[in-house]
Copies of this chain bind each other. A is one copy, B any other.
Amino acid sequence: MMALRNLLKSAKPIHNLARCYSAGAKLVDVKVNDQNGVATVTMQRMPVNSLNYDLLSQLVDAIDDLENNKTRGMILTSASNTVFSAGLDIMEMYKPQEEKCKKFWTTLQDTWLKLYGSSFPTAAAINGHSPAGGCLLSMCCEYRVMVNNFTIGLNETQLGIVAPKWFIASMQNTMSKRDAEIALTSGRLFTTEEALKVGLVDEIASDKEDALAKAEKFFARFAKVNPLARQLTKASLRGEDLQDLLDNKETDVDLFWFSVSQPMVQKSLDKYIEALKKKSGK
């Protein structure tokens, strides 16, 4: 019953976003479990699933396809054994061209809007480290199972950057305001067990197989649930956060471009990349 019109109004624009097609390597693999209709979406941009334009736009395409095919649910996981996702690819921000850089950020926005606002249930099987953008993707899901002995968190302040308002909204939808404040200001990375304690993850798994099995079980909770009623309830719960970004998409892109194009930011990226090169012996 109820609030149908308003909910649909807030739900609609999310799925009307322009689709972003990408060519080249297959960075996202989708497999559907024929028994329960749940799709497993695996990020496979090795070695660490750095979130660049290509990976994100393939994620957007995958979510769109699942929406169109009325999937029963989606599990997000990684092809790596040690990293779920290392977060945003800094090469998208290094010596950036305005148009390319803005397109990248828009695609990250779209990924968040579509995953956080998906009509179908979602779970993350976090089978490796999951800092910054990796943590964001997992928080977009409705349920999180995490393999032991890894770390997760929005550690942006440790990297000298600021998590935008929609990153924060996702964290406050998951943890208490109190825990989110202290985690965000200190840029804390939680171990799997610490993450369970504050509610950043819902279950601990021993390995990837165990994580996938536990994530699959999550969808059984919706066996007797009407999918449309579920979708509208989710839209009612997350609609305000989603609308907030939809209302401010362009400003948010401008701010990203403004920040990234600061000489000071470019200089620190320069140093960071040099350090990485030395570390990897190149």
Q: Which of A1-28 contact B (CB under 8 A)?
A: 1-7
Number of copies: 3
The reply to whether B236 and A168 contact each other, CB–CB distance below 8 Å, is yes
Contact with B along A241-265 (1 / 0, CB 8 A): 0000000000110011011100001
Stretch at the interface among A41-49, A50-58, A62-70, A152-160: A152-160
Question: Which residues from chain B contact A265 at a C-beta distance below 8 Å?
Answer: 1
In Å, the complex CA distance between A26 and B192 comes to 49
Task: Write the A116-140 contact mask toward B (1 if CB under 8 angstroms, else 0).
Answer: 0000010000000000000000000
Stretch in A171-179, A206-214, A272-280 touching the partner: A171-179
Interface residues of A (CB under 8 A from B): 1-7, 121, 142-143, 156-165, 168, 172-178, 180-182, 184-188, 199, 221-222, 224-226, 228-230, 232-234, 236-237, 251-252, 255-256, 258-260, 265
Other A-B contacts than A174-B178, A185-B225, 20 sampled, CB-CB below 8 A, are A1-B156, A1-B162, A1-B260, A2-B161, A2-B164, A2-B252, A3-B252, A4-B258, A6-B255, A142-B181, A142-B185, A159-B229, A160-B228, A162-B232, A165-B236, A168-B237, A173-B177, A173-B178, A175-B178, A185-B234
